[in-house]
Structure formats: C-alpha cells, structure tokens
Amino acid sequence: MRAETRHQLKTDRFTQATIGVAEATAHWTVEHKYKLIIGVVIAAAVVGAVLGSWYYITQQDDKANLELTKAVRTLETPIRPAGSPETPNAPSFASAQERAKAAKLQLQGVIDTYPHTHTADIARYLQGTNAIELGDKALAERELKDVASSHNSDLAALAKLALASFYANNNRNKEAVDLYKGLINKPTNTVSKVTAEMQLAGLYESSQQSMEAKQVYEQIVKDNPKTEAESMAKERLASLK
C-alpha cells in the first residue's frame, strides 16, 4: 500500500472519531440543545530540516498513530447495560468511567512515548476531553490549554472550543466568553464562526443574558440566510421573546 494511501486511511479514521468527540464537546454548554457538525481537518505534514530527521519524525508519527487508533477504539467501545455480563469477542465496558480510565492510560502512553509528534498533540486533545468525563478538572484544563496554544490552528481551535465549554460548566463564564469571541474572530476549518456563535449565544442564554444572546442570534440569521444555522437561530430568538 502506498504511503500516501496509508496516511489518508489513518487520517479518515481519526477524522471520523474526532468529529464525534467535537460534537459532544459542543453540546455541553447549551445542554444538548444544538447540533452543529464540526468538520475536522488535521494537518499531518511533517517538515524536517534534513531528509534524515524528516524520515525519523515521520516514522515516529506512524507508530504513534497506531497507538492513538487503539485509544480511539477504546473511546468508541460500547457501554454494557447495567447488570449485563460481558459478551465473548465483543468488547464493552461496565461504565463510562471504566472506559474513560482505560482510554486515559492509552492516551498517556502516546503522549509519553511520542511527545514531539503531531499525533501526541491529538492525543493531548483527546486526553483533555476524556479527563472531563473522569472529573479530573486539573488534567482537563492543563491538556486543553496546552493544545490550544499549539501551532496547528485547526486542532488548537477544537481545544479552545472544548476549553470554553469546560469553563462555562465550571462557572468561569468570562474565560469562556473570551474564548468563544476569539474563535468567532478567527474561524478555522474545524470551528466555524457560526459554531462558535451558537455556543456563545447558548452560554448567554444559560446565564440569563437574554439581550446578549438575542444579538448573537440576530447576527447568525443575518450572516447565514437559508441555512440550518439560520433556522436554529430563529427558533431560539422566538423562544426569547
């Protein structure tokens, strides 16, 4: 199999998994009222000063990708109904916490073993969102802030979106608002302007700031005629009257 084909397959698998994680992250702030698809484009090109270092780094990224795939599969493993026994040849977990703990170990393995790869940055992002499910606030904030400051603007935007939701859910609204506004001013392939606007408006709603929410929704309607975003914004505006 050609190298570029292998790379595309791995990128596609990660993209599908990360879209699910990103969608779940976007829902937190507005209590699952909104569903916007966040397209994920993760740059995987590695630039080396010389051919030898480029080859080594690429090989490391390939190895890290394999380990990351295992962690993503763990995050996608289903949860068994309470009281149900394990089914042979059908992996499952007894609880979301059990699954999150298993994924945490795998993700940390990628981060520790391949710290300077692009894949490790992706693992840090997933580790941050996974830590939220575990209730480990310190780890969640640390990992998401680290990725939010990375040079990969698409991945950094996803981390900022998750971090903003984390702040909103922990009564740190000013920090959340600042992040959402930053994403609105500098949209990326992964977090569009309208995605950030919907999240910001939802935060204003949940904070009883109806006037601010109304202004954001009106802007969405103005900028996105004849789209799903316009319909959703109009629906929310109607409920604010």
Residues of the chain with pLDDT under 50: 1-54
**29: Cα within 13 Å, side-chain hemisphere:** 33
What does the pLDDT read at residue 116?
86
Alpha-helical (H) ranges within 135-224 are: 137-148, 153-168, 173-185, 193-206, 210-223
pLDDT computed for residue 27 by the predictor: 42
pLDDT at 7: 43
Q: Write the burial class of residue 158 (CB in 10 Å: 0-12 exposed, 13-18 middle, 19+ buried).
A: buried
Give CA–CA dist 228/119, Å, rounded. 33
How would you class 199 by CB atoms within 10 Å of its CB: exposed for 0-12, middle for 13-18, buried for 19 or more?
buried
- Residue 101's Cβ-count burial label (10 Å; 0-12, 13-18, 19+) is middle
Q: Tell me the pTM.
A: 0.76
Q: Both tokens of residue 200?
A: 């910001």
Structure tokens at 48: 């080396």
pLDDT digits (tens, 9 = 90+) for 103-158: 999 999 999 999 988 899 999 999 999 999 999 999 999 999 999 999 889 999 99
Helix then strand count (H, E) for the chain reads 10, 0
What pLDDT is recorded for position 19? 38
Report d(CA 229, CA 201) in Å as an integer: 12
